[in-house]
Amino acid sequence: MSTSTRPNPTIRRKLIEVSLPLDEINAACAKEKSIRHGHPSTLHLWWARRPLAACRAVLFAQLVDDPSAWPDRFQTEEARETERNRLHDVIRAMVPWEASGNETILNAARWEIARSVAWNIGEEPPPREDGEAILRYLQEKAPPVYDPFSGGGSIPLEAQRLGLRAYGSDLNPVAVLIGKALVEIPPKFAGQAPVNPDARAEAARGGAWQGRGAQGLAEDVRSYGKWMRDEAEKRIGHLYPKATLPDGSEATVIAWLWARTVRSPDPAAKGAMVPLVSSFMLSTKEGKKAWAEVVHDANAPDGWRFEVRTGDLSAEDETRLKKGTIGRSGGGVCALTGSAMPFSYLAQQGTTNGLGVRMMAIVAQGERGRIYLAPAEIQEDIAREVHATWMPEGELPNNPRNFNTPKYGLKTFASLFTPRQLVALTTFSDLVAEAREKVLQDAVAAGRSTDSTPLHEGGIGATAYADAVATYLGFAVDKATDRNTTLCAWEANMNRMRNTFGRQALPMVWDYTETNPLSGAAGDIAGTAFAVFEVLHKLLFSGNAEVNLRNAAKNNEISDFFCISSDPPYYDNIGYADLSDFFYVWMRKSLASIWPNLFRRLTTPKNEELIATPYRHVSKDAAETFFMQGMKQALSGMRKATIATEPLTIYYAFKQSEIAADGVTSPGWASFLQAVFDSGMMVDGTWPLRTELSNRMIGHGANALASSIVLVCRSRPETSEKVTRSDFLRILRCELPAARERLRVDGVSPVDMPQSIIGPGMGVFTRYASVLEDDDSVMSVRTALALINRVWEEIENALDADFDPETQAALAWYASHGFDTRPSGELITLANAKNISLSSLFQSEVFLDRRGKAQLTPRENLPAGWSPQTDGTLTVWECVQHVARTLEATEGGQEAAARLVAGMGGKTEAARALAYRLFQIATDNGWSAEALVYNALADEWPTLERLASEIPNPVASPVAEETPRLL
């Protein structure tokens, strides 16, 4: 990690400090979240990864100069905007997932980076068409990229894809190994043919290897993964017997469904262990419905048994069956007597007497799909007679936010698995070492170097290659582990099992699924190895990279200079160390001999992890202090290691719940920004990126991590001055209007504007050494955020005065009453205040006269044939409402809405501004449906304007039959 920088370099503004094509980046991020096969995120689970599209776009814009940085080359604002749009087109082309392996598109992006690097040192870049020369140039002269919180490795991976030297580090050994597996190991064996026996036999027949990148490594992972599966079946196949079907034939079992049991508190149940079932429905698909029921049977254990049934169900019966015997709020009920069993009782029984378990159903593979069978005594006996000879060590943390099982008696890692699951996973884990020996022998036979230097010491011979294949096979075991616990639930609507980590937690699962790991279904080691193969096979890299184990809070020790882009922990959102221990204990068994430095501990490091976890500290205040101090140290180290010519970018996963009515946010956001300021950095911008699925939940009912806020930072000059509170407010009022307009032009949607405006606001606050309050005390970030929000609201309210009188009246009415009907007297008062007549408000058709009452004209009552060009009293309000209606109407859509926009003339910009204003009002009033309408309208507006510009001679929309109006 050695770099150099020129003395006193010229600081030029980068594209990310001015403009980004947010719509296209966000669209690519959203689409990427649904891609599974071959996506790098599927190599190994890590929590809250940044989408590759976002990382690629941010790195590109962070390294490419904005045209305004070269006034001699782009001499007019028009020329600068044209060049900026061209650079936006480069981003638009490279952010889709399909472009991640397209060398033509990537080479175009690399050339732009090379051009900025070259111009800044007085050179010209290599020719656009010479991809190899461009890569060499970037490797030699572009600043290397470093992420000190590299986590799942997205940022180093995208830096490597862009042809840059890439570095990453993390405190967590699981994250470090994921990063190494993504960016460090594959280039060591690039272009090499596979060594497995089948591949060598093909080569002996004259079949020359045609693969590229890590495809040879990928083929070996698939081949030896299949060998592991076949070998496992020889050793433990007898533990997974076939099921007998009603006709006497046999079928492979896909899974066994089990229900935990607890002793009934009702004396009438006579001490019976009764089932805890979240839903009795096994399949809810139409025509394939199946369910289980509890049947009283004096001859069965505890006086009951499960019976499985199929066929048609009434809606009433299906609702009853879905309720099961335990819910999410009140606890459970005794299946025999109906007596209540609250969670407190279940917890007491679980921690003292322990919970039992009873097989509920068997899922088998039939000729035409999956078959649901009643429990079989022989199947249950085989499962109960298995004894594990090895168990993972360690206890689960006392962290009730993310770990619910300890309160019910499941306190250790071993307690999360059935004995049969432990035997299967132990077998897979042991086979990793055996597979490594086979790879080593085969690699030597294939002519690989006999150098015995291991992979962790930088080896590249046969020994290191065997270590590499074993590493990926260890990942396959981890992927199988995620599908082989007693926390895997059955999804009746999909007829499949859900993996353990459906969210960032280990929740309690009452009725669980035990998969057959040799059936070819979820959790089969050959299948998980194939998933690893898919990632490696598609992986594209353009240079070497390095990921190390390092504490980011101690980065002050780094003396090199980098372009830093980082994705640090988010206050207390996710307990990475606690969660990753689940995988660490299995990785340690599979890979400790291959990566001794990473797996020397029993569990992952906890004390230095930079999250504000109250249970590790005395109180919430102590946890926040720990986070603040550690994050300040980490950010200070990042600032000192950042090359002077480049800004630093930091991702922050922002929850919508972090926005309060007064603009004062949760401790996480405010604390993070305070740490940024205290570390000596100034914020130069904030960009909202849609990097999370809306259904990614931290807990039931918790807000999703909706956005990543990307902070663009520079070092604050040591000569920065102090200013007063009144100066701060004056400068905010001067600079925020233009900043707001730029953000709107760049496509920041109304829902993201409150976060985005923080960027220029904090840019003002952090450019000064301090802002002094009236009593000479230093203003905190939390106070600054509240003031920024206040000034932003002032600006928004001031914009209302630019609208026509009818629209001003409509805005004021909407803010108070929405589309509700109110007495006409209230509208008369409002009309007088706006100096407009009541008749004008009715004649404009903005309001409806309800004979003594008044109402804003509902969108559903607007005429379908309306045109702005034929409206004699055209208002901005009507423009917005008609376009919103037309977008959703059956006879409407984008083209029809664009025709309306084309006919608005000078009211177009005002209409878009009104959509933003209406979104804010709807949000403030809690009108979520209305807010969605205006947010969608604002998001669509650039597209509508583009379509409108392509209409040669906009004319009135074709007159359709008018919707009846209520008068």
SS3 annotation, 19-81: CCCHHHHHHHHHHHCCCCCCCHHHCCCCCCCCCHHHHHHHHHHHHCECHHHCCCCCCCHHHHH
CA–CA distance, 277 with 324 (Å, rounded to integer):
5
- pLDDT score of 701: 29
State the Cα–Cα distance between residues 255 and 421, nearest whole angstrom: 12
Name the DSSP class of 886: H
Judged against a pLDDT cut of 80, whether residue 554 lies above it is answered with no
Cα separation of 458 and 439, whole Å?
18
Poorest-pLDDT segment among 242-246, 504-508, 682-686: 682-686
Beta bridge partners of 60: none
905: left (phi over 0), alpha (psi -120 to 50) or beta: left
Compute how many other C-beta atoms are within 10 angstroms of the C-beta atom of residue 725: 16
The angle that helices 781-799 and 908-924 make with each other, rounded to 10 degrees, is 130
Q: Going by C-beta distance under 8 Å and a sequence separation of 6 or more, which residues neighbour residue 341?
A: 262, 264, 265, 326, 331, 332, 333, 334
Nearest to 235 by CA among 105, 423, 399: 423
> pLDDT tens digits, residue range 555-580?
665 657 899 999 988 877 788 899 99
Least confident of 282-291, 304-313, 504-513, 671-680: 671-680
Q: What is the pLDDT of residue 875?
A: 92
The predicted model gives 73-102 an average pLDDT of: 95
Name all contacts of 746-749 with Cβ < 8 Å and 24+ positions apart.
Answer: 746/19, 746/20, 746/21, 746/22, 747/21, 747/22, 747/23, 747/939, 747/942, 748/22, 748/688, 749/688, 749/935, 749/938, 749/939
Task: Please list, in sequence order, all residues whose beta carbon lies within 8 angstroms of the beta carbon of residue 198, skipping any fewer than 6 positions away.
Answer: 223
pLDDT for residue 1:
53
Q: Could you tell me whether strands 332-333 and 340-341 are parallel, antiparallel, or unpaired per DSSP bridges?
A: antiparallel
Average pLDDT over residues 90-111: 95
| pLDDT tens-place string over residues 216-259 | 999 999 999 999 999 999 999 999 999 999 889 999 999 999 99
**CA pair distance 158, 634, nearest whole angstrom:** 22
Question: 463-481, pLDDT tens digit by residue?
Answer: 999 999 999 999 999 999 9
Q: Which amino acid is at 473?
A: L
Compute the average pLDDT of residues 823-839.
85
Q: In this predicted model, what pLDDT tens digit does every residue of 342-387 receive, in sequence order? A: 999 999 999 999 999 999 999 999 888 899 999 999 999 999 999 9
3-state secondary structure of 290: strand
Mean pLDDT, residues 13-37: 89
DSSP 3-state of 99? helix
Task: Please report the pLDDT score of residue 544 as a whole number.
Answer: 85
pLDDT at 693: 42
pLDDT score of 198 more than 50: yes
Q: For residues 770, 776, 779 and 784, what is the CA-based torsion angle, rounded to 10 degrees?
A: -100
Distance CA 903, CA 820 (A): 30
The fraction of the chain above a pLDDT of 70, given in percent, is 94
CA 759 to chain centroid: 22
- pLDDT of res. 352: 95
Residue 511 has pLDDT above 80, yes or no: yes
Residue-level pLDDT at 47: 87
In sequence order, what DSSP letters do the residues of 604-623 get, joined into one string? Answer: ---TT--S--GGGSSSHHHH
Mean pLDDT of the chain: 89
Give the separation between CA 806 and CA 949, rounded to whole angstroms. Answer: 28
Is the pLDDT at 437 greater than 80? The verdict is yes
Please give the Cα distance from 47 to 154 (Å, whole number).
12
pLDDT value at residue 541 = 85
**Helix, strand or coil, per DSSP, at residue 197:** helix
CB atoms within 10 A of CB 88: 20
Distance, C-alpha 637 to centroid of its chain: 27
- Provide the phi-psi class of 717: left if phi over 0, else alpha when psi is between -120 and 50, else beta: beta
Distance in angstroms (rounded) separating the CA atoms of residues 334 and 346? 11
Highest average pLDDT, of 51-60, 521-530, 635-644, 839-848, comes from 51-60
Q: Residues with Cβ < 8 Å from 98, sequence gap 6 or more?
A: none
Q: Is the dihedral of CA 612, 614, 620, 621 positive or negative?
A: negative
Q: Are 523 and 483 in contact (CB under 8 A)?
A: yes
Q: Are 512 and 486 in contact (CB under 8 A)?
A: yes
Q: Any residues with CB less than 8 A from the CB of 25 and at least 6 apart, and which?
A: 53, 54, 57, 91, 95, 689
**pLDDT reading at 125 higher than 90:** yes
Helix (H, G, I), strand (E, B) or coil at 920: helix
Distance CA 767, CA 199 (A): 61
Residue 951 has pLDDT above 60, yes or no: yes
662 within 8 A of 786, measured Cβ to Cβ: yes
963 contacts: CB under 8 Å, gap ≥ 6: 860, 861, 862, 863, 864
795 neighbors 802 (Cβ within 8 angstroms): no
684 DSSP assignment? E
Closest CA relative to residue 155, chosen from 56, 74, 258: 56
* Nearest in space to 705 (alpha carbons), one of 670, 658, 671: 658
Which tokens sit at 496? 């499949």
